[in-house]
Amino acid sequence: MDKEKKTNNVNNKPNNNNKPKPKKKYNNNNKPNNKSNNVNKNVNNSINKNGNTNPNKKPNNNPNKNVNNGEKKVINNNINKNEQVNKVNKEIPKEVKPIPVPTPTPKPVVIEKEETIDDVDIVFETRKIPKEEILETLEKEKDKEKVKEEVKVPKKKKKKLRLSLRGLIILLLLFILIDTVFIATVITLSNKKKDRNEEDIVEIKVDDNKDKDKEEPKKEPEKVPEKEKVNIEDEKLEKIGYVNRTITFFKEENIDRYIAFKEKNPKYSNEEVVVYVNIGLDNDYYTNIEKSPYGGTNKVLANKYYALDSSYEPSDLTAVNSKYSSGTRKLTKDAAEAFNKMAKAAKNEGYTVRAVSTYRSYLYQKDLYNKYVNKDGKAKADTYSARPGHSEHQTGLAVDVDNGKEIYTDFGETKEFDWMKENAYKYGFILRYTKDTEWITGYKDEPWHYRYVGLEIAKYIHENPMTYEEYFVRFLDK
């Protein structure tokens, strides 16, 4: 009981610590921002882990010592820590309110502003950078950016331009390629259709006076004989004097060529125009070449418009009698027999006619022609030597002759030549190349060159002087 009373007395005594402390004066430099912060610091310092309220004293672990203002109070050892805490709470002045947690005051930060860059020195951390240095660095950076823009931008544009040009070129090439392929396919298809439908085409006439939608029934084309030439415009026929009515070897497909040749050569008659154009004289020599017709017969034609195959060789080559030849000379069977008779008849009358050149193969003629070309040139060689495939000697029907005394090129000056002009046709031979017909045959006068054509043709040409080309287009050309 006594102990309890003592403790009560102790608790009932006035506590000097509860008196309000005099306010301390602070210098303006040390004055805190808030009054509550000062109170909180005092309270927090007064309360420690052991329950001491006086911050100046060290925590007292002895419960027998007084707590307030140095007064010695005896506190029971049985008082627990909770009672001490309650006691300390009672001693706190009522005016003190819960202390808010102090917030640290932020350090002043220098904000860089572009607008005030001329008036303020910018501070980075602890070092102040002079305004002049900052301006220099900024100017350098601006200069670098300008240089980069000047260098980089044109390169990019050039690359883009190059890429765009390449792309356009590639597209154009592709377009051209596709276009050409398309056109080629269309042309080939159209040609095929034309070839297939040439025979089925029928003219359809539409009567303009009647309904346009109605068409007349189809008419089959009338078959016309080959010799009768119809459906030729009167204007064209008039230009060549309606020559188609008087001759049988008129070719309707050559009518435009006839007119053109007539205009260039008005001195020729209409019939001559047709003959010369059919021979091919409106074209240059060795152009529009065709295969020689009547191969293997006495009628075969080999000239500057008709050619023999390189493998062409008569199957009945026969040697001429050695009495009438200079060495072994071969002709076709008919031509060899005819020549033997002619040479024998000439001998009986006191003339010598000898064969010096007869059949020549394609290869032999090729070597001979090239030899002349190397000697005199191609243009001159063409006037006296045939190109391979175009020589009459390959037919086995041509023969070059002499009199056994003079060289064959002088045969035109011999008496044997005169005899041949009067008697060669009787044995089926004709003088092939004359001076007057050089522009037709394409060769100079060759009085030593004779061609076997058979008795009938030779007689007609002798009675009606003409070249074998003229006879061919008049009677043999189909």
DSSP string, 171-219: HHHHHHHHHHHHHHHHHHHHHHHHHHHTTT-------SSS-TT--PPP-
- Residue 309, both tokens: 């195959």
- Can you say how many angstroms the Cα of residue 403 is from the centroid of all Cα atoms in its chain? 69
Which of the residues in the chain have pLDDT under 50? 1-79, 94-97, 109-124, 153-161, 199-221, 224-229
- Can you say how many angstroms the Cα of residue 105 is from the centroid of all Cα atoms in its chain? 80
The 10s digit of each residue's pLDDT in 221-254 is: 455 444 444 555 788 999 999 999 999 999 999 9
DSSP string of 295-329, one letter each residue: TTSTT---SSSEE--TT---TTEEEPPGGGBSS--
Q: Scanning the structure block, which residue is given the tokens 């572009």?
A: 114
Q: Please, what is the end-to-end C-alpha distance for the chain in angstroms? A: 170
pLDDT of residue 253: 93
- Can you say how many angstroms the Cα of residue 254 is from the centroid of all Cα atoms in its chain? 41
Give the separation between CA 275 and CA 298, rounded to whole angstroms.
Answer: 21
> What are the CA-CA distances from residue 257 to residues 91, 185, 254, 319, 475 (Å)?
145, 33, 5, 45, 20
Closest CA relative to residue 355, chosen from 390, 321, 316, 386: 321
pLDDT of residue 136: 77
From 392, 416, 446, 470, active-site residue: 446
CB neighbours of residue 112 within 10 Å: 11
- Tell me how many degrees the CA angle 201-203-207 measures, rounded to the nearest 5: 150
pLDDT of residue 373: 97
pLDDT of residue 189: 75
- Residue 158, both tokens: 């050039």
- Can you say how many angstroms the Cα of residue 247 is from the centroid of all Cα atoms in its chain? 55
Kindly report each contact of residues 443-448 with a partner whose C-beta sits within 8 Å and lies 24 or more positions away, as own/partner.
Answer: 443/383, 443/384, 443/386, 444/383, 444/384, 445/412, 446/384, 447/411, 447/412, 447/417, 448/400, 448/401, 448/402, 448/408, 448/409, 448/411, 448/412
Directed axis angle between helix 270-279 and helix 255-264, to 10°? Answer: 110
Q: Are the C-beta atoms of residues 63 and 79 closer than 8 Å to each other? A: yes
Q: Is 115 a catalytic residue?
A: no
pLDDT of residue 19: 45
pTM of structure: 0.54
Residue 355's SS3 state is strand
The single-letter DSSP state of residue 411 is: G
Phi, psi of 59 (to 5 degrees): -60, 135
Phi, psi of 307 (to 5 degrees): -125, 150
Give the separation between CA 273 and CA 271, rounded to whole angstroms.
Answer: 5
Q: Are the C-beta atoms of residues 458 and 425 closer than 8 Å to each other? A: yes
Give the separation between CA 270 and CA 290, rounded to whole angstroms.
Answer: 25
Start-end of CATH 3.30.1380.10 domains in the chain: 290-476
Give the separation between CA 315 and CA 296, rounded to whole angstroms.
Answer: 8
Assigned CATH class of 290-476:
alpha beta
- Residue 452, both tokens: 């076997």
- Residue 218, both tokens: 């189809």
